[in-house]
Structure formats: C-alpha cells, structure tokens
Structure 1
Amino acid sequence: MAATISPSVTTSRPARAGRGKPIDRQWSVPYRFLLPYLVVFAIFWLWPLIDSFLLSFQNTRVNPWTVDVAVNWRRLWVDQAFHAALRNTLIVLVLQVPIMLALATAIALALDSPKLAARPLFRFAFFAPIVVSDVAYSVVFRLLFNGQYGAVNQALTAIGLPALDWLHDPTWMMATIIIAVTWRWTGYNAIIILAGLQTIPKDLYEAAAIDGAGAWRRFRHITLPLLKPVIVFALVLSVIGTMQLFTEPWLITDAQSSGVSIEMLGTYLFKQGFRNLNFGYASAIAYTIAAMAAAMAAFNLLLARRSPT
C-alpha cells in the first residue's frame, strides 16, 4: 500500500529587518530613476531660485555684501527707470497680446477648415517662426526695419509714405517690438488653439446648422465657449512671456543704449545684474516680475472660471 504523502505548503515570508518590519523597496524604484534629474534640478534650478531670493535682501553695492532687508525693495518704489520699464512692458502686454490671440484664433479657424488645401504645409509655415533661433530672426527684423536701407521703409516710400525711424524713435521702436513678437508667436498660439478646435464635436455644428444658425452664431455660441479654456491657457502663456520680454528689445531695437525710453523689465534686470553688478537689486526685480506674472495669470484664470460660457 502506497503511503500518502501530503504536500508541504511553504508560505514565503518577506525578510524582516530591524523591529520585524518587512523590507519593501518597491516604492523607491521610481525615485531612483528620477534621482539624476532631481539632483540636476536642485543644483541648477532650485538652489539659484533660493539664492536669488536671499540676494534680494542684501546690499550688493558694498564690499563685502551686507544684509539689508529693505534696501532693494524700497528702491523699487522710487526708481523711475524701473517704473518706465514696467510701463513699457505693460504697453506691449496690453497692445500685443490681444492682437496676437485674435490673429491666432483666426488662423486656427482657417487651418481647421476642410476647404483649405495643403493644410499640413500651412500649419508648418505658421509654426516655423518658433524653430528659427532668436538671434537669427532678430537680425532679419533689424535689417527689415533699418531706417536707411530696410525693406519696410523702401515699401513705405514706394507708396508715397515717409520713412520711419523704426530702431531709434521710442514710439516706432515699440511698434517694431510688437510686430516682431506678434510674428514670432502668433503661429505657436494658433497651433494650440487649433488643437482645441479639433476636440469640439462636429455634431454640435451640424445640429446648429439644422436649426438655422449661421456661421457667426455657431462661432459665438459653440466655438468660443468651448475654446475658452484653450484661449485662457494661451493668454496665460503670453502674459508670462511678455513680462519676461528680452530678446526683441535687446537685439532688434537699440534698447542697449537708448536708456529708459524703450527699456523693458527684462532688459533693465539684465543691466542691473550684469552691467552694474548689482545682483541684489536685480534679484528683487526678478521676483517682482515673477510675482506680477503669477498674479496676472491667476487673475485671468479666475476671470475665465467666473465668466459665463
């Protein structure tokens, strides 16, 4: 008679260490993968942010630097050059951003139309300015708007209009900056808005057309309300970018030497930090720019959330 052997059931128990707690290292796996990035982030991004904030409370015009909590922040209230740079930046913000977003919305509607032939080609063409480097596109615009032999002034004189001093007169310098920024970023925002347009169900337009709604009513009551989150997103990005504007006034116009007439917050920060070596005041300006941009972005988000759709 064969002996019946009952199989022995062995229960695997996790290894224990210390006070009997199981060792479970699986939670640390994603953090180990992220560790190289976190180290680089802490060294080259987080620490400079903290150090810049601490510098804003120091007087860096003396040697050695001394802690003076109010010296830089108090200067912001009385510095006329800073006020002029802030005013110029806000002028560009108020004039350029609405024009750019309106053009971007119109371009996105055209790119989304099934009647448009070669749509991929046009999408690339409008997005292409972002691919061009800042220096290259600034040089091209500086040549186009040159007061003596620029193509823009030649076109104006050809139709009987006077030539303008685009790169030296404060008013026309502002116009040049607005035109350059609009050219560079309109296509980028158009692609963002186009992505939002493609998420709107086509059935809504068909139902509205059956009910007798024209193109304008469909745009007003269907497209705009459903596009509002995307447009607000583009608006927030545009506000943040405009508050940090540097390339166009520095490389296209003569902001390097023209004083406060066309000074922007970004160029004024650069001059204080790397020309005057007043790093404490430059840090205070940088955090002021960041705070104003964050406040404007929060206001836009809050306004969009409260406004009726």
Structure 2
Amino acid sequence: MKTADPALNTGKKTTRARMGNRVREGITGWTFVGIAALLIFIFFFYPMIQALILSFQTGTGMNLKFNGFDNYTRLFTDSMFLTAVKNTFIYLIFQVPLMVILALFISVLLNDKNLKFKGFFRTAIFLPCITSLVAYAVVFKYLFSSDGLVNAMLLNLHLTNTPIDWITDPFWAKVTIIIAITWRWTGYNMIFYLSGLQNIDSSIYEAARIDGASAIRQFFSITVPLLKPIILFTSITSTIGTLQLFDEVVNITKGGPGNATTSISQYIYNLSFEYSPDFGYAATVSYSIVIMIIILSFIQFKVAGERNG
C-alpha cells in the first residue's frame, strides 16, 4: 500500500494557503473600491442624473411635471440668461489668458536658481489661493470702493482727477471682478508651471545657450512647448472655474450695477432662492454650463493639437 508523499501534501497546503490569502486580499481590495465607488455614485453621479431629469420638468416643490425641451428653448429667449452668459464670457476671454500668461511668467522668474528667498515669494504668491473666498471678496470690495485705498493711491499719484467708480460703474465693475479672480488664482496655476519647469532637464537650456539662443528664444522654443500639456490643463481648469464664477460677483458687486456683472452661477442661485423658485429651469441653466465646458474644452484640445485627451 502506497503512502502519500509528505512533501507533496505540504506543497498542496502551501498552495491552498496562498490562494486563500489572495482571495482575502482581493475581497478586501474590492471592498474598499466598492465603498468608494458607491459614495462617488451617491454624492456625485446620482445628483447629476437627478439634475438632468429635473431640467426637463417644471413646477414648484413636489408639483413637478414633464415639459420636454421647453426649458432649453426658453434659454434662447431669456434676456437675463443671455446677459449672464455675456458677462461670464467677458470674464473668460480677458481673465483666463491674462492669468495663464502671468502665472507662466512668474513661474519662470521663480525658477531661477540664482534668485534669493524663492520660498518666500512662492508662498506669498500662492497664499491668496487658500484664503477664504468671502473674506478676500469683502476686502476687495473695500479696497475698490469710491473712498478705498486704490482710489486714494491713484489720486495721490495724480493718475486720475476723480475717484473711479470701481463697484458702481458697469465697465469698472467687470474690471474689478477680473482683477480679483486673477489675484486669487494666478498662484494656483503658478505651482503647476513650477513643477513642470523643475522636471525639464537643465542641459537642454545649456545646449540652447551654447547655440546662442537668447532667453526669449529659449522661452518660446523650449519652455512653452515642453509645458504645453500643463498649459492645456490649466487653461481648461481655469475655463471651468470662470464659467462657475459665483463668490466674487455675489460678494463684491452683488451682480450689479443693473445686472452688469451677473454670472451664470449667480443667475442659477437667483432662480432657485431669490426669485420664485424654479428648480427645473435652474437645473437647465446649470446644464448649459456643462455644455459650454464640453464645447470649450474640445476647442482647447483641438487648438493645442492634443488628439488623445
């Protein structure tokens, strides 16, 4: 009678133990992934789906009824919505390029190895990003008031004879909003550019200098092309943030004067809480932002030549 080989039995037990450990590890991993996926679905995707369904409804409270595409066709005849879109695109057209160019320029200066106190300057420029939205907006409101510090400096420097109506004039109110957004978010984009610049091999610049390339030529022929993916990323995120602009407009100008600075997000808030509640139409306006973001992101990808997003 043959007996089982003890070494063979030991090998089988070891294999079963390894398989058991792998199964337990797999179950543990999928449990963590499943919980995260469930939370993301509950708090992100489910509200998005519900908002999409709501955009095809009309009524107040629980008395909602399906009205097809009426809310979407209403957008094209809603003068207040068109005004909000115009204002938001004015911010977008002027502020995003200004902020991207300024952040890129500052990052190049702060990446200089010979610059002293680089840590201080980087922290000082990035600091506005972590300040309270409401607090900094209120500070800007007082700085740019008719008797504020900005007007006082302009008068003392004899750059103007009368105080500028930064908050109450339609044109200057938009300028104030653009300045406020640029001040807050330039440092945020600067950090991305700095990280990209520090990953560029310094030997590339050394070779360019040996070939006689000036600093400006190096910037446009080396820095900008190598930072192209980061520039695209910051341009898209800045576009998304500007289309969702809310805090600065509400706290600095309250959308005035005469809706001259009202943004799309503020109009959504007004539809939901300031006017007679119309959550269906407010959801429709919200999804108009989604459509704008998709279109503008697609255009930016095409302009940048990025076919594989």
Cα distance in 2, alignment partners of residues 24 and 295 from structure 1:
45
Amino acid in structure 1 at the alignment position of 2:91: V
After superposition, what is the alpha-carbon deviation per residue over 1:205-234, rounded to whole angstroms, capped at 9, x for unaligned?
A: 111111111111111211111111111111
Counterpart of 2:151 (choices 150, 153, 156) is 153
After superposition, what is the alpha-carbon deviation per residue over 1:271-299, rounded to whole angstroms, capped at 9, x for unaligned?
A: 11222311000101111101111221122
Change (3 A) 1:70 1:61: farther
TM score, norm. by length of structure 2: 0.89
- Quick check: 2:254–2:262 contact (8 Å CA) kept in 1? no
Cα distance in 2, alignment partners of residues 165 and 144 from structure 1:
12
TM score, norm. by length of structure 1: 0.89
Cα distance in 2, alignment partners of residues 69 and 61 from structure 1:
16
Structure 1 residue 29: deviation in Å?
2.3
After superposition, what is the alpha-carbon deviation per residue over 1:29-74, rounded to whole angstroms, capped at 9, x for unaligned?
A: 2221134433332322222111111000001258721111122111
Comparing 216-225 with 89-98, which one deviates more in the overlay?
Answer: 216-225
- Quick check: 1:174–1:262 contact (8 Å CA) kept in 2? yes
Structure 1 residue 302: deviation in Å?
2.2
Comparing 4-13 with 298-307, which one deviates more in the overlay?
Answer: 4-13
Amino acid in structure 2 at the alignment position of 1:44: F
Cα distance in 2, alignment partners of residues 306 and 187 from structure 1:
25
Cα distance in 2, alignment partners of residues 60 and 201 from structure 1:
60
Cα distance in 2, alignment partners of residues 216 and 169 from structure 1:
39
Structure 1 residue 124: deviation in Å?
0.6
Cα distance in 1, alignment partners of residues 4 and 241 from structure 2:
74
SS at the partner of 2:248? helix
Report 1:1-309 matches (<5 A). 7-8=5-6, 9-10=8-9, 11-12=12-13, 24=23, 26-61=25-60, 64-147=63-146, 149-160=147-158, 161=160, 162-255=162-255, 258-276=257-275, 277-305=277-305
Aligned pair count?
295
Comparing 136-145 with 6-15, which one deviates more in the overlay?
Answer: 6-15
Cα distance in 2, alignment partners of residues 28 and 6 from structure 1:
34
SS at the partner of 1:121? helix
Cα distance in 1, alignment partners of residues 152 and 247 from structure 2:
25
Cα distance in 2, alignment partners of residues 103 and 295 from structure 1:
25
Cα distance in 1, alignment partners of residues 37 and 62 from structure 2:
35
Change (3 A) 1:127 1:69: same
SS at the partner of 2:76? helix
- Quick check: 2:240–2:293 contact (8 Å CA) kept in 1? yes
Cα distance in 2, alignment partners of residues 158 and 176 from structure 1:
20
Structure 1 residue 169: deviation in Å?
1.4
SS at the partner of 1:200? coil
Cα distance in 2, alignment partners of residues 208 and 103 from structure 1:
24
After superposition, what is the alpha-carbon deviation per residue over 1:114-159, rounded to whole angstroms, capped at 9, x for unaligned?
A: 1210111111111000111101101110110111x21011112223
After superposition, what is the alpha-carbon deviation per residue over 1:72-115, rounded to whole angstroms, capped at 9, x for unaligned?
A: 11110110111111011111101111111111111001110112
- Quick check: 2:232–2:304 contact (8 Å CA) kept in 1? yes
SS at the partner of 2:116? coil
* Aligned position for 1:18: none
Cα distance in 2, alignment partners of residues 63 and 118 from structure 1:
60
Cα distance in 1, alignment partners of residues 3 and 216 from structure 2:
85
Change (3 A) 1:136 1:79: same
| Structure 1: segments with no counterpart, 5+ residues | 16-22
- Quick check: 1:167–1:254 contact (8 Å CA) kept in 2? no
- Quick check: 1:193–1:227 contact (8 Å CA) kept in 2? yes
* Aligned position for 1:19: none
